[in-house]
A and B are shown apart, each in its own frame.
Chain A
Amino acid sequence: MATAFGSQFSSLRGKRRERWRDLSPMRKREAKMGLLFISPWIIGVLLFALFPFVASFLLSFTKYNIVAPPQWIGTAHYVEIFTDDPLFLKSLKNTGVYVSGSVAIRIVLGFALALLLNTKVRFLGLWRTIFYVPSVVPIVALSIVWLYVLNARAGLLNWFLGFFGIPRIRWFADPDFAMIAFLVMSTTWVGVTMVIFLAGLQGIPEEYYDAAKIDGANLLQRLWRVTIPLMTPTIYLNVLINIIGAFQVFTQIFIMTGGAPRDATRTYVLHLFDHAFQYLPPQMGYSSALAWILFMIIFAFTAVIVATSQRWVFYQGGEA
């Protein structure tokens, strides 16, 4: 997919734009058929992407509680968010912890597991299935199970840590550990990242390693000079997908802690959700302003990663 994305972007360059009136009658017919086929999506993108995108921007400058029509109040919400909402900063910080921790866990562990499975290991399919199974479990059920895994008194994790002499940790009662608990839980989804990395690793031609071996490269050198450079497109894509996803972490936190203890697990989207759907009266305008700030943050991260990607992402041959 990484290369597919790349080629989408490059296909735009250096191509003369076609204009409708220059088309021959046959090409006009073809164009009409094409537009007809994609018309469901055009309607969909207008209704479910463009409309809410613009509307939430406009709503962010209004006081809006769903029942009464929105009331224009200018930038008041933004001013309040940045000057008078301690939970905004707190939730942003918590989300930052989750994003950096969970993305690192998924990329590093996902890559390590894929490397392990790429060593001509036996029963490859079995291991891959085992590592992937937790990722398909519905998140509500997973959250309920993990509430007991992380139970302070009788939980599986404290039991397991006990073997290493670590005293029981009060995961969700201790503000210092509550966010770490969610990071531990995020290992559940490492399988998805691993599967993508594994497919990438399997696509590296054996000759590259043979050539490196003849040149006398040891295991670490082959990893660092052959495997990782060739995997950069896949790493790039995974970092991007996981960062965008991690910024929006919501469901497991809503179910398991609701932001407790003392807002130590209040994440950004939870904060936004509470303003829109928990508080009375609903503060849809305020929530929209929070949503737009989140959008700008995610956009900035994406832009930085995309802009720096040329320096560290290598595409093989002319494929992209």
Chain B
Amino acid sequence: MSRDDQLIRVTRVLGRILLYFTLVAISLWFLAPLFWMFMSSFMPLEQVGVFPVEWIPRVWQPENYTDALKFWNFGTTFRNTMLVTIFSLVGDIGSCTIVAYGFARFRFPFRDTLFLILLATLMLPFAVRLIPVYAAYEAIGWIDTFYPLIVPAFFGNAFYIFICRQFFLGIPQDLLDAAKIDGASEVRIFTQVMIPLAKPAIVVIAILSFQNSWNDFLGPLIYLKDPDLHTLAIGLYKFTSLPGQGGIYNQQMAASTMMVLPVLIVFFLFQKQFIQGANISGLKG
């Protein structure tokens, strides 16, 4: 082996070591806050504020969780969040697949213009819509109900429609023609041929919709004033801003962990779809 070859090999190995070292360092940056949230949720209060930072509870205190639950009506907020999440999910999947099918499989005047309008609405800042929509809900008595958080889902979300349409465009026309020759109606082709084929896209939409409802803060903040209607996000926020709660870090971390865990479980079960949801370029057409 020549000296040059050896040199190349040494630099390659060094490069790899440096690469993995960097990856581990970056991973620590991303994981440390979440890891600390989890660990401190079991710590005694006096340990949370010590400096230098400690990572392992001196005494494991699961009662932080039960103590947090005394102040924060987890059961009610959890139920409310589930309610909003499930209804929005049904609405999003139903409306977006139907609309996307219309855009993908039928020719009609101004179809492309309408689709451009759909894409343009993605860029409309929420701040512009906030006030008139709020005023309208106020006028029809929907403040302090779940309707403002659920009903819009039944009228299509531009981004989900876009995802679903790209997917429908990729399904071969021959399949539909065959179904048509067999005498299937448009509605039957949609429900019995397209929907089963579109399952991957539907899972992506379902996950985005779940994440959206579960994490939503601004919507519940302005529409739900009655504490019995609060969602997890608002419950957690109110809990940490209760008078006298400012310093009870360990219970706040326990409460945060309770809200984060369901999302993390769903994330680990459907990682691939989460990544696809972030990365629609995989579905370009």
Interface residues of B in 18-72 (CB under 8 A from A): 19-20, 22-23, 26-27, 29-34, 36-37, 40, 48-53
Q: Is A141 an interface residue (CB 8 A)?
A: yes
Q: Is the CB of B259 within 8 A of A3?
A: no
Q: Is the CB of A295 within 8 A of B128?
A: yes
Interface residues of A in 240-289 (CB under 8 A from B): 244, 247-248, 250-251, 255, 269, 272, 276-277, 284, 287-288
Q: Is the CB of B260 within 8 A of A138?
A: yes
- For B132, give its contact among A52, A113, A154, A191 (CB under 8 Å): A52
As a 0/1 sequence over residues 245 to 285 of chain B, the CB contacts with chain A under 8 angstroms (1 = contact) are 00001001100110110011001000100110011111111
What residues on A are CB-neighbors of B156 within 8 Å?
Answer: 40-41, 44-45
Main secondary structure of the interface of A (DSSP, over half): helix
- For A144, give its contact among B115, B132, B240 (CB under 8 Å): B240
Q: Is B138 an interface residue (CB 8 A)?
A: yes
Q: Which of these binds chain B: A77-85, A126-134, A170-178, A207-215?
A: A126-134
Chain B min CB distance to A64 (Å)? 8
Quick one: closest B residue to A159, CB to CB? B53
Q: Is the CB of A4 within 8 A of B166?
A: yes
Q: Is B191 an interface residue (CB 8 A)?
A: no
Knowing A66-B138, A251-B218, the reply to whether A35 touches B102 (Cβ < 8 A) is: yes
- For A48, give its contact among B98, B152, B278 (CB under 8 Å): B152
Interface residues of B in 66-91 (CB under 8 A from A): none
Quick one: closest B residue to A38, CB to CB? B102
Q: Is B133 an interface residue (CB 8 A)?
A: yes
Q: Is A74 an interface residue (CB 8 A)?
A: no
Knowing A156-B53, A276-B130, the reply to whether A131 touches B107 (Cβ < 8 A) is: no
What residues on B are CB-neighbors of A52 within 8 Å?
Answer: 128-133, 136
Residues of B with Cβ closer than 8 Å to A? Answer: 19-20, 22-23, 26-27, 29-34, 36-37, 40, 48-53, 95, 98-99, 101-103, 105-119, 121, 123-136, 138, 152, 154-156, 161-162, 166, 186, 190, 211, 214-215, 217-218, 222, 232-233, 236-237, 240, 249, 252-253, 256-257, 259-260, 263-264, 267, 271, 274-275, 278-285
> Would you give 8 A-B contacts (Cβ < 8 Å), ordered by A?
A33-B186, A34-B102, A154-B48, A154-B49, A199-B282, A203-B281, A287-B131, A292-B128
